[in-house]
Protein backbone atom coordinates (compact mmCIF):
# COMPACT_ATOMS: atom_id res chain seq x y z
CA UNK A 1 0.00 0.00 0.00
CA UNK A 2 2.82 2.39 0.91
CA UNK A 3 4.56 1.54 -2.37
CA UNK A 4 1.43 2.47 -4.35
CA UNK A 5 1.15 5.75 -2.46
CA UNK A 6 4.77 6.55 -3.25
CA UNK A 7 4.24 5.80 -6.94
CA UNK A 8 1.12 7.97 -7.09
CA UNK A 9 2.95 10.76 -5.24
CA UNK A 10 5.82 10.66 -7.75
CA UNK A 11 3.44 10.59 -10.72
CA UNK A 12 1.60 13.64 -9.40
CA UNK A 13 4.93 15.40 -8.85
CA UNK A 14 6.01 14.65 -12.42
CA UNK A 15 2.67 15.90 -13.72
CA UNK A 16 3.01 19.14 -11.78
CA UNK A 17 6.61 19.65 -12.88
CA UNK A 18 5.69 18.94 -16.52
CA UNK A 19 3.11 21.73 -16.45
CA UNK A 20 5.70 24.09 -14.99
CA UNK A 21 8.23 22.91 -17.58
CA UNK A 22 5.86 23.60 -20.48
CA UNK A 23 5.21 27.10 -19.14
CA UNK A 24 8.95 27.69 -18.76
CA UNK A 25 9.59 26.56 -22.36
CA UNK A 26 6.89 28.92 -23.65
CA UNK A 27 8.39 31.82 -21.72
CA UNK A 28 11.90 31.05 -22.94
CA UNK A 29 10.71 30.71 -26.54
CA UNK A 30 8.79 33.97 -26.78
CA UNK A 31 11.49 35.94 -24.97
CA UNK A 32 14.19 34.39 -27.16
CA UNK A 33 12.29 35.28 -30.34
CA UNK A 34 11.12 38.72 -29.25
CA UNK A 35 14.07 40.13 -27.31
CA UNK A 36 16.43 40.82 -30.26
CA UNK A 37 14.14 43.33 -31.97
CA UNK A 38 13.41 45.04 -28.65
CA UNK A 39 17.14 45.47 -28.10
CA UNK A 40 17.64 46.60 -31.70
CA UNK A 41 14.83 49.16 -31.71
CA UNK A 42 15.03 50.01 -28.02
CA UNK A 43 12.39 49.09 -25.49
CA UNK A 44 11.15 52.70 -25.01
CA UNK A 45 10.83 53.23 -28.78
CA UNK A 46 9.13 49.86 -29.20
CA UNK A 47 6.58 50.40 -26.41
CA UNK A 48 6.02 54.14 -26.88
CA UNK A 49 6.34 54.35 -30.67
CA UNK A 50 3.13 55.57 -32.31
CA UNK A 51 3.71 54.15 -35.79
CA UNK A 52 3.60 50.51 -36.90
CA UNK A 53 5.03 50.08 -40.40
CA UNK A 54 6.93 46.77 -40.69
CA UNK A 55 7.72 47.32 -44.39
CA UNK A 56 9.72 50.43 -43.39
CA UNK A 57 11.29 48.85 -40.33
CA UNK A 58 9.20 50.96 -37.93
CA UNK A 59 7.85 49.06 -34.96
CA UNK A 60 5.85 51.05 -32.42
CA UNK A 61 3.11 49.28 -30.52
CA UNK A 62 1.68 52.18 -28.50
CA UNK A 63 -1.52 52.28 -30.63
CA UNK A 64 -2.10 48.60 -29.88
CA UNK A 65 -1.40 49.04 -26.16
CA UNK A 66 -3.79 52.00 -25.96
CA UNK A 67 -6.34 50.08 -28.02
CA UNK A 68 -6.12 47.08 -25.69
CA UNK A 69 -6.60 49.35 -22.67
CA UNK A 70 -9.61 51.10 -24.24
CA UNK A 71 -11.27 47.81 -25.15
CA UNK A 72 -10.53 46.19 -21.78
CA UNK A 73 -11.83 49.15 -19.77
CA UNK A 74 -14.91 49.30 -21.98
CA UNK A 75 -15.51 45.59 -21.45
CA UNK A 76 -15.36 46.10 -17.69
CA UNK A 77 -17.80 49.01 -17.90
CA UNK A 78 -20.23 46.69 -19.69
CA UNK A 79 -19.50 43.41 -17.93
CA UNK A 80 -18.82 44.38 -14.31
CA UNK A 81 -22.26 45.83 -13.39
CA UNK A 82 -24.05 43.01 -15.19
CA UNK A 83 -21.81 40.28 -13.78
CA UNK A 84 -21.83 41.57 -10.22
CA UNK A 85 -25.57 42.23 -10.33
CA UNK A 86 -26.18 38.73 -11.61
CA UNK A 87 -23.95 37.25 -8.88
CA UNK A 88 -25.78 39.20 -6.16
CA UNK A 89 -29.16 38.09 -7.49
CA UNK A 90 -28.14 34.43 -7.77
CA UNK A 91 -26.44 34.34 -4.37
CA UNK A 92 -28.89 36.35 -2.28
CA UNK A 93 -32.21 36.94 -4.00
CA UNK A 94 -33.03 34.21 -6.51
CA UNK A 95 -35.33 31.36 -5.49
CA UNK A 96 -33.54 28.03 -5.28
CA UNK A 97 -35.12 26.64 -8.45
CA UNK A 98 -34.39 29.80 -10.43
CA UNK A 99 -30.77 29.72 -9.26
CA UNK A 100 -30.42 26.11 -10.42
CA UNK A 101 -31.41 27.21 -13.93
CA UNK A 102 -29.83 30.66 -14.20
CA UNK A 103 -26.35 29.88 -12.86
CA UNK A 104 -25.64 27.07 -15.37
CA UNK A 105 -27.10 29.28 -18.11
CA UNK A 106 -24.66 32.07 -17.28
CA UNK A 107 -21.75 29.63 -17.08
CA UNK A 108 -22.79 28.21 -20.45
CA UNK A 109 -21.79 31.55 -22.00
CA UNK A 110 -18.15 30.60 -21.34
CA UNK A 111 -18.52 27.56 -23.60
CA UNK A 112 -19.65 29.51 -26.67
CA UNK A 113 -16.75 29.88 -29.15
CA UNK A 114 -15.40 33.41 -29.44
CA UNK A 115 -15.92 33.35 -33.21
CA UNK A 116 -19.67 33.06 -32.57
CA UNK A 117 -19.60 36.20 -30.43
CA UNK A 118 -17.60 37.92 -33.15
CA UNK A 119 -20.02 36.85 -35.86
CA UNK A 120 -23.04 38.11 -33.90
CA UNK A 121 -21.23 41.38 -33.28
CA UNK A 122 -20.36 41.64 -36.96
CA UNK A 123 -23.88 41.14 -38.32
CA UNK A 124 -25.89 42.80 -35.53
CA UNK A 125 -23.83 45.16 -33.41
CA UNK A 126 -21.57 46.77 -36.02
CA UNK A 127 -24.44 47.81 -38.37
CA UNK A 128 -26.45 49.07 -35.39
CA UNK A 129 -23.61 51.31 -34.20
CA UNK A 130 -22.97 52.53 -37.75
CA UNK A 131 -26.62 53.43 -38.37
CA UNK A 132 -27.48 54.86 -34.95
CA UNK A 133 -24.29 56.42 -33.58
CA UNK A 134 -22.28 56.98 -36.75
CA UNK A 135 -18.77 56.05 -37.72
CA UNK A 136 -17.68 52.86 -39.45
CA UNK A 137 -19.33 50.62 -36.87
CA UNK A 138 -16.10 48.69 -36.36
CA UNK A 139 -15.00 50.39 -33.18
CA UNK A 140 -13.91 50.40 -29.57
CA UNK A 141 -17.58 50.35 -28.55
CA UNK A 142 -18.39 47.23 -30.56
CA UNK A 143 -15.35 45.43 -29.16
CA UNK A 144 -16.15 46.51 -25.60
CA UNK A 145 -19.76 45.28 -25.79
CA UNK A 146 -18.76 41.91 -27.23
CA UNK A 147 -15.99 41.41 -24.68
CA UNK A 148 -18.23 42.65 -21.87
CA UNK A 149 -20.62 39.80 -22.61
CA UNK A 150 -17.75 37.33 -22.94
CA UNK A 151 -16.34 38.11 -19.47
CA UNK A 152 -19.75 37.81 -17.78
CA UNK A 153 -19.27 34.13 -16.78
CA UNK A 154 -15.90 34.85 -15.19
CA UNK A 155 -17.08 37.81 -13.12
CA UNK A 156 -20.41 36.21 -12.21
CA UNK A 157 -19.02 32.82 -11.15
CA UNK A 158 -16.15 34.12 -9.02
CA UNK A 159 -18.26 36.88 -7.43
CA UNK A 160 -21.01 34.32 -6.70
CA UNK A 161 -18.52 32.04 -4.94
CA UNK A 162 -17.12 34.99 -2.99
CA UNK A 163 -20.59 36.02 -1.79
CA UNK A 164 -21.51 32.46 -0.86
CA UNK A 165 -18.28 32.16 1.15
CA UNK A 166 -19.37 34.96 3.52
CA UNK A 167 -20.45 33.31 6.81
CA UNK A 168 -24.20 33.08 7.31
CA UNK A 169 -23.81 34.73 10.72
CA UNK A 170 -22.95 38.01 9.00
CA UNK A 171 -26.30 38.03 7.21
CA UNK A 172 -28.28 36.92 10.23
CA UNK A 173 -26.63 39.46 12.50
CA UNK A 174 -27.32 42.38 10.17
CA UNK A 175 -30.91 41.32 9.58
CA UNK A 176 -31.42 40.91 13.31
CA UNK A 177 -30.41 44.55 13.75
CA UNK A 178 -33.32 45.57 11.51
CA UNK A 179 -31.45 46.08 8.25
CA UNK A 180 -33.18 45.37 4.96
CA UNK A 181 -31.87 42.72 2.59
CA UNK A 182 -30.30 45.33 0.31
CA UNK A 183 -28.66 47.10 3.26
CA UNK A 184 -27.23 43.77 4.35
CA UNK A 185 -25.83 43.15 0.88
CA UNK A 186 -24.41 46.65 0.50
CA UNK A 187 -23.01 47.17 3.98
CA UNK A 188 -21.89 43.66 4.97
CA UNK A 189 -21.76 41.10 2.18
CA UNK A 190 -20.05 43.18 -0.52
CA UNK A 191 -17.28 44.45 1.79
CA UNK A 192 -16.73 40.94 3.16
CA UNK A 193 -16.56 39.47 -0.35
CA UNK A 194 -14.35 42.29 -1.66
CA UNK A 195 -11.18 40.19 -2.22
CA UNK A 196 -13.07 37.66 -4.34
CA UNK A 197 -14.91 40.32 -6.31
CA UNK A 198 -11.71 42.23 -7.04
CA UNK A 199 -10.07 38.97 -8.14
CA UNK A 200 -13.03 38.36 -10.45
CA UNK A 201 -12.57 41.80 -12.00
CA UNK A 202 -8.85 41.24 -12.53
CA UNK A 203 -9.38 37.82 -14.10
CA UNK A 204 -12.09 39.33 -16.29
CA UNK A 205 -9.56 41.94 -17.41
CA UNK A 206 -7.11 39.18 -18.29
CA UNK A 207 -9.82 37.39 -20.28
CA UNK A 208 -10.68 40.58 -22.16
CA UNK A 209 -7.14 41.67 -22.93
CA UNK A 210 -6.23 38.20 -24.19
CA UNK A 211 -9.21 37.73 -26.54
CA UNK A 212 -8.39 37.66 -30.25
CA UNK A 213 -10.92 36.31 -32.74
CA UNK A 214 -14.02 38.20 -31.61
CA UNK A 215 -12.06 41.47 -31.44
CA UNK A 216 -10.61 41.00 -34.93
CA UNK A 217 -14.11 40.67 -36.35
CA UNK A 218 -15.58 43.86 -34.82
CA UNK A 219 -12.70 46.23 -33.99
CA UNK A 220 -11.70 47.57 -37.41
CA UNK A 221 -8.00 46.76 -36.83
CA UNK A 222 -6.62 50.21 -37.67
CA UNK A 223 -3.11 50.84 -36.29
CA UNK A 224 -3.98 54.27 -34.88
CA UNK A 225 -4.51 55.55 -31.37
CA UNK A 226 -8.31 55.71 -30.94
CA UNK A 227 -9.67 59.14 -30.03
CA UNK A 228 -13.28 58.08 -29.34
CA UNK A 229 -15.30 54.98 -28.61
CA UNK A 230 -16.58 55.03 -32.21
CA UNK A 231 -13.06 54.88 -33.70
CA UNK A 232 -11.57 51.65 -35.08
CA UNK A 233 -8.92 50.01 -32.97
CA UNK A 234 -6.33 47.23 -33.04
CA UNK A 235 -5.34 45.30 -29.93
CA UNK A 236 -2.07 43.51 -29.14
CA UNK A 237 -3.57 40.07 -29.73
CA UNK A 238 -5.19 41.15 -33.00
CA UNK A 239 -1.88 42.53 -34.24
CA UNK A 240 -0.18 39.18 -33.72
CA UNK A 241 -2.98 37.11 -35.24
CA UNK A 242 -3.41 39.30 -38.31
CA UNK A 243 0.25 39.51 -39.33
CA UNK A 244 2.03 36.40 -38.06
CA UNK A 245 0.99 34.38 -41.10
CA UNK A 246 3.19 36.35 -43.51
CA UNK A 247 5.74 38.00 -41.21
CA UNK A 248 9.48 37.32 -41.55
CA UNK A 249 12.73 38.70 -40.18
CA UNK A 250 12.42 41.76 -37.96
CA UNK A 251 8.67 41.84 -38.55
CA UNK A 252 8.28 38.35 -37.12
CA UNK A 253 10.49 39.20 -34.16
CA UNK A 254 8.44 42.34 -33.52
CA UNK A 255 5.28 40.25 -33.32
CA UNK A 256 6.93 37.93 -30.81
CA UNK A 257 8.03 41.03 -28.88
CA UNK A 258 4.39 42.11 -28.88
CA UNK A 259 3.62 38.73 -27.36
CA UNK A 260 6.26 39.39 -24.69
CA UNK A 261 4.56 42.65 -23.70
CA UNK A 262 1.17 40.92 -23.68
CA UNK A 263 2.56 38.06 -21.59
CA UNK A 264 3.97 40.49 -19.03
CA UNK A 265 0.65 42.36 -18.78
CA UNK A 266 -1.39 39.17 -18.28
CA UNK A 267 1.17 37.75 -15.83
CA UNK A 268 0.91 40.91 -13.73
CA UNK A 269 -2.89 40.69 -13.78
CA UNK A 270 -2.83 37.03 -12.71
CA UNK A 271 -0.34 37.70 -9.91
CA UNK A 272 -2.48 40.60 -8.75
CA UNK A 273 -5.55 38.35 -8.80
CA UNK A 274 -3.79 35.74 -6.64
CA UNK A 275 -2.62 38.43 -4.24
CA UNK A 276 -6.10 39.87 -3.95
CA UNK A 277 -7.76 36.44 -3.68
CA UNK A 278 -5.52 35.66 -0.72
CA UNK A 279 -7.29 38.47 1.12
CA UNK A 280 -4.40 40.91 1.26
CA UNK A 281 -6.54 43.89 0.30
CA UNK A 282 -6.39 46.94 2.50
CA UNK A 283 -9.76 48.17 3.62
Can you tell me the distance from the alpha carbon of 7 to that of 25, in angstroms, rounded to the nearest whole number? 26
pLDDT reported for residue 279: 55
Can you tell me the distance from the alpha carbon of 211 to that of 230, in angstroms, rounded to the nearest whole number? 20
Can you tell me the distance from the alpha carbon of 237 to that of 121, in angstroms, rounded to the nearest whole number? 18
Is residue 47 one of the residues assigned to a domain?
Answer: no
pLDDT reported for residue 1: 62
Among the ranges 6-10, 17-21, 103-107, 268-272, which has the highest mean pLDDT value? 17-21
Domain region containing 75: 52-277
Is residue 6 one of the residues assigned to a domain?
Answer: no
pTM above 0.85, yes or no: no
Min mean pLDDT across 43-47, 171-175, 187-191 is at 171-175
Spatial CA neighbour of 125 closest among 110, 112, 138, 111:
138
Percentage of the chain exceeding pLDDT 70: 96
pLDDT reported for residue 277: 62
Is residue 20 one of the residues assigned to a domain?
Answer: no
Mean of all residue pLDDT scores within the chain = 86
What are the C-alpha distances in Å from 199 to residues 88, 109, 171, 214, 241?
16, 20, 22, 24, 28
Based on its alpha-carbon atoms, the radius of gyration of the chain, rounded to whole angstroms, reads 22
28-84, pLDDT tens digit by residue?
888 888 888 888 888 888 888 888 888 888 888 899 999 998 999 999 999 999 999
Spatial CA neighbour of 256 closest among 274, 275, 270, 236:
236
Percentage of the chain exceeding pLDDT 90: 19
Is residue 140 one of the residues assigned to a domain?
Answer: yes
CATH number for the domain harbouring residue 87: 1.10.3720.10
Is residue 144 one of the residues assigned to a domain?
Answer: yes
The DSSP code sequence of 71-129 is: HHHHHHHHHHHHHHHHHHIIIIIS-HHHHHHHHHHHHHGGGS-HHHHHHHIIIIIHHHH
Is residue 263 one of the residues assigned to a domain?
Answer: yes
Can you tell me the distance from the alpha carbon of 200 to that of 237, in angstroms, rounded to the nearest whole number? 22
Is residue 78 one of the residues assigned to a domain?
Answer: yes
pLDDT reported for residue 278: 67
pLDDT band at 283 (very low <50, low <70, confident <90, very high): very low
Is residue 114 one of the residues assigned to a domain?
Answer: yes
Select the more confidently predicted residue: 1 or 203: 203
Select the more confidently predicted residue: 5 or 216: 216
User: Residue 267: pLDDT above 80?
Assistant: yes
- The total number of structural domains that make up the chain: 1
Amino acid sequence: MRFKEKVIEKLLLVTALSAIGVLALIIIFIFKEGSPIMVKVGIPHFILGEKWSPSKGIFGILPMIVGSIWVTVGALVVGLPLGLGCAIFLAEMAPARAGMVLKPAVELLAGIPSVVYGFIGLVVLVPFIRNVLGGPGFSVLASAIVLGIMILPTITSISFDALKAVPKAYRDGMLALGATRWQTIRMVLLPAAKPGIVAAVILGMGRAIGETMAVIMVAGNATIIPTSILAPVRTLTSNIALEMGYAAGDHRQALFATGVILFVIIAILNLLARWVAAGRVSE
